[in-house]
Chains A and B, each alone.
Chain A
Amino acid sequence: MFLIHCPYCDEKRPETEFAHAGEAHIVRPNAAEQSEMTDAQWSEFMFIRDNKRGDSCERWWHVNGCNMFFNAVRNTVTDKFVKTYKMGAKRPSNAQIQKWKEGV
Protein backbone atom coordinates (compact mmCIF):
# COMPACT_ATOMS: atom_id res chain seq x y z
CA MET A 1 0.00 0.00 0.00
CA PHE A 2 1.26 3.47 -0.90
CA LEU A 3 1.69 6.33 1.48
CA ILE A 4 0.58 9.31 -0.56
CA HIS A 5 1.30 12.94 0.21
CA CYS A 6 -1.84 15.02 -0.27
CA PRO A 7 -0.71 18.53 -1.23
CA TYR A 8 -3.87 20.05 0.26
CA CYS A 9 -3.71 18.25 3.63
CA ASP A 10 0.09 18.45 3.47
CA GLU A 11 0.20 15.01 5.03
CA LYS A 12 1.15 11.48 4.01
CA ARG A 13 -1.91 9.25 4.18
CA PRO A 14 -2.51 5.55 3.28
CA GLU A 15 -3.53 4.65 -0.24
CA THR A 16 -6.98 3.40 0.79
CA GLU A 17 -7.98 7.02 1.43
CA PHE A 18 -7.33 7.82 -2.22
CA ALA A 19 -8.74 6.92 -5.61
CA HIS A 20 -6.60 6.84 -8.73
CA ALA A 21 -8.28 9.08 -11.28
CA GLY A 22 -6.42 8.39 -14.52
CA GLU A 23 -3.85 10.22 -16.58
CA ALA A 24 -3.30 13.87 -15.65
CA HIS A 25 -3.32 17.00 -17.80
CA ILE A 26 -5.95 15.80 -20.27
CA VAL A 27 -8.00 18.92 -20.88
CA ARG A 28 -11.69 18.39 -21.61
CA PRO A 29 -12.65 20.39 -24.69
CA ASN A 30 -15.31 23.05 -24.09
CA ALA A 31 -18.74 22.91 -25.76
CA ALA A 32 -17.72 25.02 -28.74
CA GLU A 33 -14.60 22.94 -29.34
CA GLN A 34 -16.58 19.71 -28.97
CA SER A 35 -18.99 20.65 -31.75
CA GLU A 36 -16.02 21.21 -34.08
CA MET A 37 -14.20 18.00 -33.18
CA THR A 38 -13.96 15.01 -35.51
CA ASP A 39 -14.64 11.47 -34.28
CA ALA A 40 -10.91 10.78 -34.33
CA GLN A 41 -10.15 13.80 -32.16
CA TRP A 42 -12.92 12.83 -29.72
CA SER A 43 -11.54 9.29 -29.58
CA GLU A 44 -8.11 10.72 -28.82
CA PHE A 45 -9.50 12.71 -25.90
CA MET A 46 -11.80 9.96 -24.65
CA PHE A 47 -9.86 6.73 -25.06
CA ILE A 48 -6.23 7.15 -26.09
CA ARG A 49 -3.74 7.19 -23.23
CA ASP A 50 0.05 7.53 -22.94
CA ASN A 51 0.15 4.58 -20.50
CA LYS A 52 3.75 5.55 -19.91
CA ARG A 53 6.36 3.16 -18.63
CA GLY A 54 8.46 5.34 -16.36
CA ASP A 55 7.71 8.74 -14.81
CA SER A 56 4.04 9.36 -15.40
CA CYS A 57 1.72 12.24 -14.50
CA GLU A 58 -1.54 11.07 -12.99
CA ARG A 59 -4.54 12.37 -11.07
CA TRP A 60 -5.42 11.23 -7.58
CA TRP A 61 -8.53 11.98 -5.57
CA HIS A 62 -8.39 12.20 -1.79
CA VAL A 63 -11.90 10.76 -1.66
CA ASN A 64 -11.84 9.51 1.93
CA GLY A 65 -9.99 12.58 3.15
CA CYS A 66 -10.23 16.20 2.07
CA ASN A 67 -12.08 15.20 -1.13
CA MET A 68 -9.73 17.23 -3.35
CA PHE A 69 -8.22 16.16 -6.67
CA PHE A 70 -4.51 16.66 -7.18
CA ASN A 71 -1.79 15.53 -9.57
CA ALA A 72 1.24 13.36 -8.99
CA VAL A 73 4.38 12.24 -10.77
CA ARG A 74 4.88 8.55 -10.13
CA ASN A 75 7.27 6.07 -11.69
CA THR A 76 5.20 3.21 -13.10
CA VAL A 77 8.11 0.76 -13.00
CA THR A 78 9.19 1.27 -9.38
CA ASP A 79 5.77 2.58 -8.21
CA LYS A 80 7.62 5.35 -6.34
CA PHE A 81 5.96 8.76 -6.06
CA VAL A 82 8.30 11.53 -7.19
CA LYS A 83 6.09 14.43 -6.19
CA THR A 84 2.45 15.42 -5.74
CA TYR A 85 1.26 18.90 -6.69
CA LYS A 86 -1.93 20.92 -6.62
CA MET A 87 -4.47 21.13 -9.40
CA GLY A 88 -3.83 23.97 -11.81
CA ALA A 89 -0.04 23.59 -11.78
CA LYS A 90 1.37 22.91 -15.25
CA ARG A 91 2.72 19.51 -16.30
CA PRO A 92 6.29 19.38 -15.00
CA SER A 93 9.06 19.15 -17.61
CA ASN A 94 11.38 16.16 -17.68
CA ALA A 95 14.15 18.41 -16.33
CA GLN A 96 11.92 19.44 -13.43
CA ILE A 97 11.06 15.77 -12.65
CA GLN A 98 14.77 14.98 -12.70
CA LYS A 99 15.44 17.80 -10.23
CA TRP A 100 12.70 16.54 -7.92
CA LYS A 101 14.22 13.09 -8.06
CA GLU A 102 17.62 14.43 -7.08
CA GLY A 103 15.98 16.30 -4.23
CA VAL A 104 16.84 19.78 -5.53
Chain B
Amino acid sequence: MKFSARSLFANALSGHENWPEQFPDKEPKKEYDVVIVGGGGHGLGAAYYLAKKYGITNVAVLEKGWIGGGNTGRNTTIIRSNYLFDESAGIYDHAVDLWDGLSQELNYNVMFSKRGVLMLAHNVHDVQSFQRHVHANRLNGVDNKWLSPEECQEFVPILDISQNRRYPVMGGALQMRAGTARHDSVAWGYARAASQLGVDIIQNCMVTGIRRGPDGAIEGVETVKGYIGAKKVGVSAAGNTSVVMDMAGLRFPLESYPLQALVSEPIKPVVPCVIMSNAVHAYISQSDKGELVIGAGTDQYTSYSQRGALHIVEHTLMSICEIFPIFRRMRMLRNWGGVVDVTPDRSPIVGKTPIEGLFVNCGWGTGGFKATPGAADLFAYTIAKDEPHKINAPFNLDRFVGGRLIDEAAAAAVAH
Protein backbone atom coordinates (compact mmCIF):
# COMPACT_ATOMS: atom_id res chain seq x y z
CA MET B 1 0.00 0.00 0.00
CA LYS B 2 1.20 3.48 -0.86
CA PHE B 3 1.01 6.23 1.74
CA SER B 4 -0.70 9.33 0.37
CA ALA B 5 -3.07 12.10 1.39
CA ARG B 6 -5.86 9.94 -0.03
CA SER B 7 -4.95 6.83 1.97
CA LEU B 8 -4.62 8.97 5.10
CA PHE B 9 -8.08 10.43 4.52
CA ALA B 10 -9.65 7.04 3.76
CA ASN B 11 -8.15 5.50 6.91
CA ALA B 12 -9.21 8.47 9.01
CA LEU B 13 -12.82 7.64 8.10
CA SER B 14 -12.42 4.18 9.64
CA GLY B 15 -10.72 5.52 12.76
CA HIS B 16 -7.20 4.46 11.68
CA GLU B 17 -8.03 0.88 12.66
CA ASN B 18 -7.58 -0.74 9.26
CA TRP B 19 -4.01 0.19 8.29
CA PRO B 20 -2.26 -2.91 6.90
CA GLU B 21 0.96 -4.16 8.51
CA GLN B 22 4.00 -2.27 7.26
CA PHE B 23 6.07 -5.33 6.50
CA PRO B 24 5.36 -9.03 7.07
CA ASP B 25 7.30 -10.99 9.67
CA LYS B 26 8.71 -13.85 7.58
CA GLU B 27 10.13 -17.27 8.38
CA PRO B 28 13.38 -18.08 6.58
CA LYS B 29 13.47 -19.98 3.26
CA LYS B 30 16.09 -22.70 2.70
CA GLU B 31 18.32 -20.55 0.54
CA TYR B 32 18.89 -16.98 -0.60
CA ASP B 33 21.15 -15.23 -3.08
CA VAL B 34 22.18 -12.76 -0.41
CA VAL B 35 21.79 -12.90 3.37
CA ILE B 36 22.32 -9.67 5.30
CA VAL B 37 23.23 -10.18 8.96
CA GLY B 38 21.85 -7.31 11.00
CA GLY B 39 18.49 -5.58 10.57
CA GLY B 40 19.46 -2.03 11.39
CA GLY B 41 19.24 0.89 8.98
CA HIS B 42 22.47 -0.09 7.21
CA GLY B 43 21.44 -3.72 6.68
CA LEU B 44 17.83 -3.03 5.68
CA GLY B 45 19.01 -0.23 3.39
CA ALA B 46 21.53 -2.55 1.72
CA ALA B 47 18.75 -5.09 1.11
CA TYR B 48 16.54 -2.35 -0.33
CA TYR B 49 19.23 -1.07 -2.73
CA LEU B 50 20.15 -4.64 -3.75
CA ALA B 51 16.53 -5.18 -4.80
CA LYS B 52 15.91 -1.70 -6.21
CA LYS B 53 19.12 -0.95 -8.08
CA TYR B 54 20.57 -4.38 -8.87
CA GLY B 55 17.43 -6.53 -9.20
CA ILE B 56 18.62 -8.98 -6.54
CA THR B 57 15.37 -9.67 -4.71
CA ASN B 58 16.06 -13.12 -3.27
CA VAL B 59 17.46 -11.50 -0.15
CA ALA B 60 16.95 -12.07 3.58
CA VAL B 61 17.74 -9.68 6.39
CA LEU B 62 18.39 -11.54 9.65
CA GLU B 63 17.90 -9.58 12.85
CA LYS B 64 18.64 -11.11 16.25
CA GLY B 65 16.20 -8.82 18.05
CA TRP B 66 13.59 -6.57 16.51
CA ILE B 67 13.85 -4.10 13.63
CA GLY B 68 15.23 -0.77 14.79
CA GLY B 69 16.04 -2.08 18.27
CA GLY B 70 19.80 -1.73 17.97
CA ASN B 71 21.92 1.32 17.29
CA THR B 72 19.50 2.58 14.62
CA GLY B 73 16.98 3.28 17.38
CA ARG B 74 19.53 4.36 19.97
CA ASN B 75 21.46 7.19 18.34
CA THR B 76 20.98 10.95 18.51
CA THR B 77 19.98 11.21 14.81
CA ILE B 78 22.64 13.71 13.77
CA ILE B 79 23.30 13.96 10.03
CA ARG B 80 26.30 15.89 8.70
CA SER B 81 29.19 15.49 6.29
CA ASN B 82 31.72 18.18 7.30
CA TYR B 83 34.60 15.73 7.65
CA LEU B 84 38.18 16.76 6.97
CA PHE B 85 39.62 14.11 4.69
CA ASP B 86 38.68 13.66 1.03
CA GLU B 87 37.68 10.02 1.52
CA SER B 88 35.40 10.85 4.45
CA ALA B 89 33.86 13.84 2.71
CA GLY B 90 33.12 11.53 -0.22
CA ILE B 91 31.38 8.81 1.77
CA TYR B 92 29.45 11.05 4.20
CA ASP B 93 28.39 13.55 1.54
CA HIS B 94 27.15 10.67 -0.60
CA ALA B 95 24.89 9.82 2.34
CA VAL B 96 23.64 13.40 2.67
CA ASP B 97 22.85 13.40 -1.05
CA LEU B 98 20.68 10.34 -0.49
CA TRP B 99 19.05 11.72 2.67
CA ASP B 100 17.67 14.41 0.36
CA GLY B 101 14.60 12.83 -1.15
CA LEU B 102 14.74 9.65 0.94
CA SER B 103 11.20 10.18 2.23
CA GLN B 104 9.93 10.38 -1.37
CA GLU B 105 11.98 7.40 -2.48
CA LEU B 106 10.77 5.18 0.37
CA ASN B 107 7.24 6.66 0.46
CA TYR B 108 7.85 6.96 4.18
CA ASN B 109 8.41 10.16 6.11
CA VAL B 110 11.87 9.93 7.67
CA MET B 111 11.49 13.53 8.84
CA PHE B 112 14.88 14.63 7.50
CA SER B 113 15.23 18.19 8.70
CA LYS B 114 18.07 20.31 7.31
CA ARG B 115 18.22 22.51 10.38
CA GLY B 116 21.99 22.84 10.24
CA VAL B 117 24.88 21.74 12.43
CA LEU B 118 26.83 24.47 14.19
CA MET B 119 30.22 23.55 15.64
CA LEU B 120 31.37 26.11 18.19
CA ALA B 121 34.99 27.27 18.49
CA HIS B 122 36.15 28.22 21.98
CA ASN B 123 39.87 28.83 21.53
CA VAL B 124 42.42 29.77 18.88
CA HIS B 125 43.13 26.16 18.07
CA ASP B 126 39.42 25.50 17.47
CA VAL B 127 39.18 28.57 15.23
CA GLN B 128 42.13 27.50 13.08
CA SER B 129 41.08 23.87 12.97
CA PHE B 130 37.46 24.61 12.03
CA GLN B 131 38.48 27.15 9.39
CA ARG B 132 40.74 24.48 7.93
CA HIS B 133 37.72 22.15 7.93
CA VAL B 134 35.60 24.80 6.20
CA HIS B 135 38.20 25.25 3.43
CA ALA B 136 38.78 21.51 3.03
CA ASN B 137 35.02 20.93 2.86
CA ARG B 138 34.51 23.63 0.24
CA LEU B 139 37.28 22.15 -1.92
CA ASN B 140 35.39 18.85 -1.71
CA GLY B 141 32.06 20.46 -2.60
CA VAL B 142 30.69 20.03 0.93
CA ASP B 143 28.85 23.06 2.23
CA ASN B 144 30.30 24.56 5.41
CA LYS B 145 30.76 28.19 6.33
CA TRP B 146 32.44 30.20 9.05
CA LEU B 147 30.29 32.35 11.34
CA SER B 148 31.44 35.16 13.63
CA PRO B 149 30.25 35.03 17.28
CA GLU B 150 27.52 37.56 16.42
CA GLU B 151 26.35 35.45 13.48
CA CYS B 152 26.36 32.38 15.76
CA GLN B 153 24.10 34.18 18.22
CA GLU B 154 21.82 35.34 15.44
CA PHE B 155 21.44 31.70 14.42
CA VAL B 156 21.10 30.40 18.00
CA PRO B 157 19.56 33.18 20.11
CA ILE B 158 20.07 31.38 23.45
CA LEU B 159 23.83 31.33 22.89
CA ASP B 160 25.83 33.55 25.25
CA ILE B 161 28.68 35.14 23.27
CA SER B 162 30.15 37.32 26.00
CA GLN B 163 33.92 36.90 25.87
CA ASN B 164 34.53 36.76 29.63
CA ARG B 165 33.20 33.22 30.02
CA ARG B 166 35.28 30.19 30.77
CA TYR B 167 34.66 28.91 27.24
CA PRO B 168 33.90 31.99 25.11
CA VAL B 169 32.33 31.46 21.69
CA MET B 170 34.96 32.65 19.21
CA GLY B 171 33.00 31.63 16.13
CA GLY B 172 31.47 28.57 14.59
CA ALA B 173 31.38 26.37 11.50
CA LEU B 174 27.88 25.90 10.12
CA GLN B 175 26.82 23.18 7.71
CA MET B 176 23.33 24.03 6.51
CA ARG B 177 22.64 20.76 4.66
CA ALA B 178 23.17 18.91 7.90
CA GLY B 179 20.46 18.22 10.47
CA THR B 180 18.47 15.40 11.98
CA ALA B 181 16.00 12.69 10.93
CA ARG B 182 13.65 10.34 12.75
CA HIS B 183 15.75 7.21 13.30
CA ASP B 184 12.93 4.67 13.78
CA SER B 185 11.33 5.79 10.53
CA VAL B 186 14.56 5.12 8.69
CA ALA B 187 14.56 1.48 9.82
CA TRP B 188 10.81 1.00 9.27
CA GLY B 189 10.86 2.86 5.94
CA TYR B 190 13.70 0.75 4.53
CA ALA B 191 12.13 -2.44 5.94
CA ARG B 192 8.78 -1.67 4.34
CA ALA B 193 10.25 -0.61 1.00
CA ALA B 194 12.56 -3.64 0.88
CA SER B 195 9.82 -6.12 1.75
CA GLN B 196 7.61 -4.63 -0.97
CA LEU B 197 10.37 -5.54 -3.43
CA GLY B 198 10.43 -9.15 -2.17
CA VAL B 199 13.07 -9.04 0.56
CA ASP B 200 12.38 -11.31 3.56
CA ILE B 201 12.82 -9.56 6.91
CA ILE B 202 13.32 -12.15 9.63
CA GLN B 203 13.33 -10.97 13.23
CA ASN B 204 14.40 -12.89 16.35
CA CYS B 205 16.83 -14.81 14.16
CA MET B 206 20.30 -14.65 15.63
CA VAL B 207 23.15 -15.99 13.52
CA THR B 208 25.09 -18.63 15.45
CA GLY B 209 27.58 -19.80 12.83
CA ILE B 210 28.91 -19.22 9.33
CA ARG B 211 29.29 -22.28 7.11
CA ARG B 212 32.06 -22.38 4.51
CA GLY B 213 32.61 -24.88 1.70
CA PRO B 214 35.75 -26.97 1.06
CA ASP B 215 37.18 -24.12 -1.06
CA GLY B 216 36.67 -21.71 1.84
CA ALA B 217 33.85 -19.79 0.18
CA ILE B 218 30.65 -18.90 1.99
CA GLU B 219 27.85 -21.52 1.86
CA GLY B 220 25.39 -20.15 4.37
CA VAL B 221 24.68 -19.24 7.95
CA GLU B 222 23.54 -21.23 10.96
CA THR B 223 20.81 -19.45 12.89
CA VAL B 224 18.52 -20.10 15.84
CA LYS B 225 15.85 -20.78 13.21
CA GLY B 226 18.00 -23.37 11.41
CA TYR B 227 20.50 -23.39 8.57
CA ILE B 228 20.05 -20.86 5.72
CA GLY B 229 22.02 -21.26 2.52
CA ALA B 230 23.46 -18.13 0.91
CA LYS B 231 25.67 -17.39 -2.08
CA LYS B 232 26.76 -14.15 -0.46
CA VAL B 233 26.62 -12.91 3.12
CA GLY B 234 26.82 -9.25 4.07
CA VAL B 235 27.55 -8.55 7.72
CA SER B 236 26.19 -5.26 9.00
CA ALA B 237 26.12 -6.08 12.69
CA ALA B 238 27.56 -2.88 14.25
CA GLY B 239 28.76 -3.56 17.81
CA ASN B 240 28.59 -7.34 17.36
CA THR B 241 30.63 -7.49 14.15
CA SER B 242 33.64 -9.03 15.94
CA VAL B 243 31.39 -11.81 17.26
CA VAL B 244 29.94 -12.62 13.81
CA MET B 245 33.34 -12.42 12.12
CA ASP B 246 34.79 -14.77 14.73
CA MET B 247 32.30 -17.39 13.45
CA ALA B 248 34.01 -17.16 10.07
CA GLY B 249 37.44 -17.38 11.66
CA LEU B 250 38.33 -13.73 11.07
CA ARG B 251 39.70 -11.30 13.65
CA PHE B 252 38.94 -7.63 13.12
CA PRO B 253 40.48 -4.28 14.09
CA LEU B 254 37.44 -3.40 16.17
CA GLU B 255 36.60 -2.70 19.79
CA SER B 256 33.02 -2.36 21.05
CA TYR B 257 32.22 0.37 23.55
CA PRO B 258 29.02 1.51 25.24
CA LEU B 259 27.78 4.90 24.03
CA GLN B 260 25.02 6.70 25.89
CA ALA B 261 22.42 9.30 25.01
CA LEU B 262 19.66 11.00 26.92
CA VAL B 263 16.63 13.22 26.42
CA SER B 264 15.07 15.85 28.64
CA GLU B 265 11.47 16.65 29.41
CA PRO B 266 9.85 18.39 26.39
CA ILE B 267 9.96 22.18 26.21
CA LYS B 268 9.06 24.84 23.66
CA PRO B 269 11.46 25.23 20.71
CA VAL B 270 14.71 26.86 21.83
CA VAL B 271 17.44 24.95 20.00
CA PRO B 272 17.02 25.67 16.29
CA CYS B 273 19.81 23.42 15.00
CA VAL B 274 22.35 20.86 16.18
CA ILE B 275 25.02 22.54 18.30
CA MET B 276 28.33 20.83 18.93
CA SER B 277 31.26 21.89 21.00
CA ASN B 278 34.40 19.81 20.68
CA ALA B 279 36.35 21.70 23.34
CA VAL B 280 33.67 21.34 26.01
CA HIS B 281 32.73 17.95 24.57
CA ALA B 282 28.98 18.22 24.25
CA TYR B 283 26.35 18.29 21.57
CA ILE B 284 22.66 19.00 21.69
CA SER B 285 19.61 19.26 19.47
CA GLN B 286 15.88 19.42 20.06
CA SER B 287 13.44 16.85 18.75
CA ASP B 288 10.15 17.78 17.13
CA LYS B 289 8.46 16.61 20.34
CA GLY B 290 10.45 19.28 22.19
CA GLU B 291 12.88 17.05 24.08
CA LEU B 292 16.50 18.11 24.22
CA VAL B 293 18.53 15.28 22.68
CA ILE B 294 21.98 14.98 24.18
CA GLY B 295 24.76 12.56 23.31
CA ALA B 296 27.49 11.49 25.70
CA GLY B 297 30.95 10.17 24.94
CA THR B 298 31.81 6.47 25.00
CA ASP B 299 32.59 4.71 28.24
CA GLN B 300 36.26 3.88 28.66
CA TYR B 301 35.97 0.08 28.67
CA THR B 302 34.82 -2.39 26.02
CA SER B 303 31.39 -3.87 26.60
CA TYR B 304 28.39 -5.46 24.90
CA SER B 305 26.00 -4.55 27.69
CA GLN B 306 24.13 -1.68 25.94
CA ARG B 307 24.40 0.51 28.99
CA GLY B 308 27.03 2.77 30.47
CA ALA B 309 28.02 4.45 33.68
CA LEU B 310 26.25 7.38 35.29
CA HIS B 311 29.37 9.49 35.75
CA ILE B 312 29.72 9.69 31.94
CA VAL B 313 26.23 11.17 31.73
CA GLU B 314 26.96 13.53 34.60
CA HIS B 315 30.07 14.78 32.82
CA THR B 316 28.06 15.32 29.61
CA LEU B 317 25.37 17.32 31.39
CA MET B 318 28.01 19.44 33.10
CA SER B 319 29.36 20.28 29.64
CA ILE B 320 25.89 21.12 28.32
CA CYS B 321 25.22 23.41 31.29
CA GLU B 322 28.61 25.05 30.79
CA ILE B 323 27.58 26.18 27.30
CA PHE B 324 23.88 26.67 28.04
CA PRO B 325 23.33 27.67 31.69
CA ILE B 326 19.66 28.13 30.70
CA PHE B 327 19.26 24.32 30.88
CA ARG B 328 20.60 23.94 34.41
CA ARG B 329 17.20 23.25 35.95
CA MET B 330 15.95 20.90 33.23
CA ARG B 331 15.12 17.34 34.20
CA MET B 332 16.22 14.40 32.11
CA LEU B 333 13.55 11.89 31.14
CA ARG B 334 15.33 8.92 29.67
CA ASN B 335 18.85 7.67 29.24
CA TRP B 336 20.04 4.61 27.34
CA GLY B 337 23.07 3.05 25.72
CA GLY B 338 24.11 1.24 22.57
CA VAL B 339 27.21 -0.73 21.59
CA VAL B 340 29.41 0.93 18.99
CA ASP B 341 32.19 -0.77 17.02
CA VAL B 342 35.22 1.49 16.88
CA THR B 343 38.16 1.11 14.49
CA PRO B 344 41.68 2.35 15.30
CA ASP B 345 41.32 5.33 12.90
CA ARG B 346 37.63 6.00 13.67
CA SER B 347 36.71 5.45 10.02
CA PRO B 348 34.44 2.63 8.87
CA ILE B 349 35.25 -0.58 7.01
CA VAL B 350 32.97 -1.16 4.02
CA GLY B 351 33.99 -3.80 1.54
CA LYS B 352 35.17 -7.33 0.91
CA THR B 353 36.79 -9.69 3.39
CA PRO B 354 39.49 -12.30 2.79
CA ILE B 355 36.66 -14.89 2.52
CA GLU B 356 34.98 -15.33 -0.86
CA GLY B 357 31.34 -14.26 -0.67
CA LEU B 358 31.61 -12.58 2.74
CA PHE B 359 31.22 -8.79 2.87
CA VAL B 360 31.35 -6.39 5.77
CA ASN B 361 30.01 -2.96 6.66
CA CYS B 362 31.24 -2.06 10.13
CA GLY B 363 33.38 0.23 12.22
CA TRP B 364 31.06 3.23 12.03
CA GLY B 365 31.73 3.74 15.70
CA THR B 366 29.86 6.63 17.20
CA GLY B 367 28.67 8.10 13.88
CA GLY B 368 26.89 5.46 11.84
CA PHE B 369 23.38 6.87 11.65
CA LYS B 370 24.29 9.84 9.46
CA ALA B 371 25.78 7.49 6.87
CA THR B 372 22.82 5.08 6.72
CA PRO B 373 21.61 5.62 3.12
CA GLY B 374 25.10 6.13 1.72
CA ALA B 375 26.65 3.14 3.45
CA ALA B 376 23.66 0.97 2.51
CA ASP B 377 23.90 2.04 -1.14
CA LEU B 378 27.66 1.43 -1.34
CA PHE B 379 27.40 -1.87 0.55
CA ALA B 380 24.72 -3.05 -1.91
CA TYR B 381 26.98 -2.04 -4.82
CA THR B 382 29.92 -3.94 -3.29
CA ILE B 383 27.84 -7.09 -2.74
CA ALA B 384 26.17 -6.97 -6.17
CA LYS B 385 29.33 -6.24 -8.20
CA ASP B 386 31.70 -8.19 -5.95
CA GLU B 387 33.97 -5.15 -5.85
CA PRO B 388 33.88 -1.88 -3.91
CA HIS B 389 32.53 1.34 -5.37
CA LYS B 390 35.18 4.00 -5.78
CA ILE B 391 33.70 5.96 -2.86
CA ASN B 392 34.09 3.10 -0.38
CA ALA B 393 37.23 1.58 -1.91
CA PRO B 394 39.53 3.49 0.52
CA PHE B 395 37.53 2.13 3.46
CA ASN B 396 38.89 -1.37 3.01
CA LEU B 397 40.19 -3.81 5.58
CA ASP B 398 43.68 -3.83 4.03
CA ARG B 399 44.41 -0.29 5.14
CA PHE B 400 45.31 -1.60 8.57
CA VAL B 401 48.09 -3.65 6.96
CA GLY B 402 49.18 -1.18 4.26
CA GLY B 403 49.01 1.81 6.58
CA ARG B 404 46.78 4.08 4.50
CA LEU B 405 44.60 5.01 7.46
CA ILE B 406 41.82 7.62 7.24
CA ASP B 407 42.52 9.19 10.58
CA GLU B 408 39.35 11.10 11.41
CA ALA B 409 40.09 10.36 15.08
CA ALA B 410 42.92 12.87 15.00
CA ALA B 411 40.94 15.22 12.75
CA ALA B 412 37.86 15.40 14.93
CA ALA B 413 39.18 14.61 18.42
CA VAL B 414 35.63 14.14 19.61
CA ALA B 415 32.90 11.55 19.50
CA HIS B 416 30.85 12.06 16.34
Binding site for B on A (CB under 8 A): 1-2, 15-16, 19-20, 22, 39-40, 43-44, 46-53, 56, 58, 74, 76-79
Contact = CB atoms under 8 A, between A and B. Distances in A.
A40 to B, nearest CB: 5
Given A15-B311, A77-B305, A48 B251 contact: yes
Contact of A47 (B240, B300, B302, B344): B344
Interface in B306-343: 309-311
B310 A39 contact: no
A1 B255 CA distance: 20
Contacts of A51: 242, 252, 254-256, 302
Contact of A77 (B255, B304, B309): B304
Contacts of A20: 300-302
A49 B403 contact: no
Given A1-B311, A43-B401, A49 B301 contact: no
B300 A19 contact: yes
A60 B301 CA distance: 9
A39 B402 contact: yes
A50 B241 CA distance: 11
Contacts of B242: 49-53
19 contacts: A1-B309, A19-B300, A20-B300, A20-B302, A22-B255, A47-B400, A48-B252, A49-B242, A49-B251, A49-B253, A49-B254, A50-B242, A51-B254, A51-B256, A76-B302, A76-B305, A77-B303, A77-B304, A79-B303
B295 to A, nearest CB: 19
B280 interface: no
A19 B300 CA distance: 7
A58 B302 CA distance: 9
B305 A2 contact: no
Nearest to A74: B301
Interface of B: 240, 242-243, 251-256, 300-305, 309-311, 344, 400-403
Nearest to B309: A1
Given A53-B242, A58-B302, A2 B309 contact: yes
Given A16-B311, A50-B251, A51-B256, A39 B403 contact: yes
A79 B304 CA distance: 8
Contact of B309 (A15, A52, A56, A58): A15
Nearest to A51: B242
Contacts of B310: 1
Query: Which 10 A-B pairs have CB atoms at the shortest separation, nearest pair first?
Result: A51-B242, A47-B253, A20-B301, A20-B300, A43-B401, A47-B400, A1-B309, A53-B243, A48-B251, A47-B344
Contacts of B254: 49, 51
Nearest to B245: A51
A40 B301 CA distance: 26
B404 to A, nearest CB: 12
A52 B135 CA distance: 41
Given A47-B344, A47-B400, A53 B311 contact: no
Contacts of A74: 301
The listed residue with most A CB atoms (<10 A of its CB), out of B242, B252, B301, is: B301
B346 to A, nearest CB: 12
A47 B311 CA distance: 29
Contacts of A46: 344, 400
Contacts of A78: 305
Contacts of B301: 20, 58, 74
Given A15-B311, A76-B303, 4 more contacts: A1-B310, A1-B311, A39-B402, A79-B303
B401 A39 contact: yes
A42 to B, nearest CB: 8
B251 A79 contact: no
A3 B25 CA distance: 43
A61 to B, nearest CB: 10
B111 to A, nearest CB: 34
Nearest to B343: A47
A40 B401 CA distance: 5
A50 B310 CA distance: 27
The listed residue with most A CB atoms (<10 A of its CB), out of B252, B302, B305, B344, is: B302
A3 B254 CA distance: 26
B169 to A, nearest CB: 29
B251 A53 contact: no
Contacts of A53: 240, 242-243, 256, 304
